[in-house]
Amino acid sequence: MNINLAVVKGDGIGPEIVEEGEKVLNKIGEMYGHTFTYTDILAGGCAIDATGEPLPAESVKIAKESDSVLLGAVGGPKWDTLPGHLRPERALLGLRSELGLFANVRPAKLYDALADACPLKPEISKEGLDLVIVRELIGGLYFGERGRRDAGEMGEEAFDELKYNVKEVERIGRVAFEMARKRDRKKVTSVDKANVIETSRLWRETMHKLAQEYPDVEFEDMLVDNCAMQLVRNPGQFDVIVTENMFGDILSDEASMTTGSIGMLPSSSLGETTRGMYEPIHGSAPDIAGQNKANPIATILSCAMMLRDSFNLLDEAKCIESAVAKVLDDGFRTGDIMDEGGKLLGTKEMGDKIVSYLTK
């Protein structure tokens, strides 16, 4: 397969971690007969410095022509005081909306070798934690009408509109059901607040109808407050969680924390086509940028997600994920996940180690 990637190296540790991702993809290409071509595009703080805007039109054009986008991280203190429309994070929102990416997918997996980093009690973490949160990304409360008005004696009033239509719920639901089909446990939990909110009632009705098209996938509903509790009480019960924008924002951070390691977690944003945007969940870590200290594993696992979800290269994705698990089992660590007896590696050395563990 010939795969053309648009690459946002971005700011801070972005360039260092993306380099390791490309190293792993190149080796996979050699092993399985694929060619990866990378076109660097400017986005974020470095784009502001070079062109005055966080997401130049040329970058959007190249991203749209690519098969997928690989992104390191954007932002940093240098650009923190700029007005909202010029902030580096605008580049992320801009890319997602220009590429029509409506689903955010965040796996949270606890590796056996890193079980001590899990903040949950050992009797809970020993049951394992390997779930994916599929969050609706471009609808709901964050995109509804909002404003302020005079509420007479009550003073100023603010409002934010929450709405979802059937089409929006169906398309995010399909992402979740299709994803569950590719996983071992094949289970979807749809999370809502249907006991109170009307949009959640429509969400629930729509998900139930959709579930009938996927008889091979186990399906359940859960109220969001219960889900927040279950994620720390018994996270092993979840496989794929699908939910609306704001609930997903909160639950995905909660789930990430239970794995205890921000440098390990990949993510993707997906749309109607196979083109997605793949990136680690962490930021640009300006405190360790340029020091060969960043953990490249979240980016490397984002590359594995890309192979599976955009190109259906399941063996290749598994090959990367197994290599990462084995490297951790053998005690190799970057500083952020270092533990007693661990063997400390820098960013480049961790990338090289994972490459050396790739086997068919």
CB of 223: closest distance to ligand NAD in angstroms? Answer: 29
7: left (phi over 0), alpha (psi -120 to 50) or beta: beta
Q: Is the dihedral of CA 183, 281, 312, 113 positive or negative?
A: negative
Kindly write out the interface string for residues 7-46 of this chain, putting x where it contacts ligand NAD by CB under 6 A and - elsewhere: ------x---------------------------------
Query: Is 253 an annotated catalytic residue?
Result: yes
Q: Which of 40, 249, 336, 352 is flagged as catalytic?
A: 249
What gap in Å lies between CA 123 and CA 102, rounded to an integer? 36
CB of 90: closest distance to ligand NAD in angstroms? Answer: 11
Q: Is the dihedral of CA 354, 305, 41, 94 positive or negative?
A: negative
Decide if 355 contacts 24 (C-beta within 8 A): yes
Query: Is 78 an annotated catalytic residue?
Result: no
With CB under 6 A as the contact rule, the residue among 282, 306, 324, 333 that binds ligand NAD is: 282
Beta carbon nearer to ligand NAD, 25 or 297: 297
Decide if 32 contacts 3 (C-beta within 8 A): no
Candidate ranges 72-80, 174-182, 201-209, 350-358; the one touching ligand NAD (CB under 6 A):
72-80
Query: Is 249 an annotated catalytic residue?
Result: yes
Site for ligand NAD in 289-308 (CB under 6 A): 294-295, 298
Decide if 252 contacts 135 (C-beta within 8 A): yes
- Does the footprint of ligand NAD cover residue 89 (CB under 6 A)? yes
Q: Which of 64, 130, 142, 336 is flagged as catalytic?
A: 142
Query: Is 193 an annotated catalytic residue?
Result: yes
Candidate ranges 71-79, 118-126, 153-161, 206-214; the one touching ligand NAD (CB under 6 A):
71-79
Candidate ranges 74-82, 112-120, 227-235, 302-310; the one touching ligand NAD (CB under 6 A):
74-82
Candidate ranges 56-64, 99-107, 275-283, 319-327; the one touching ligand NAD (CB under 6 A):
275-283
CB of 280: closest distance to ligand NAD in angstroms? Answer: 6
CB of 117: closest distance to ligand NAD in angstroms? Answer: 13
Q: How many residues bind ligand NAD, per CB under 6 A?
A: 21
Site for ligand NAD in 319-338 (CB under 6 A): 336
Beta carbon nearer to ligand NAD, 202 or 288: 288
Nearest to 6 by CA among 72, 58, 47, 62: 62
Nearest residue to ligand NAD by CB is 283
- Does the footprint of ligand NAD cover residue 249 (CB under 6 A)? no
Beta carbon nearer to ligand NAD, 74 or 224: 74
Query: Is 225 an annotated catalytic residue?
Result: yes
The residues that are catalytic are 142, 193, 225, 249, 253
Give residues in contact with ligand NAD (CB under 6 A): 13, 73-76, 89, 92, 262-263, 279, 282-288, 294-295, 298, 336
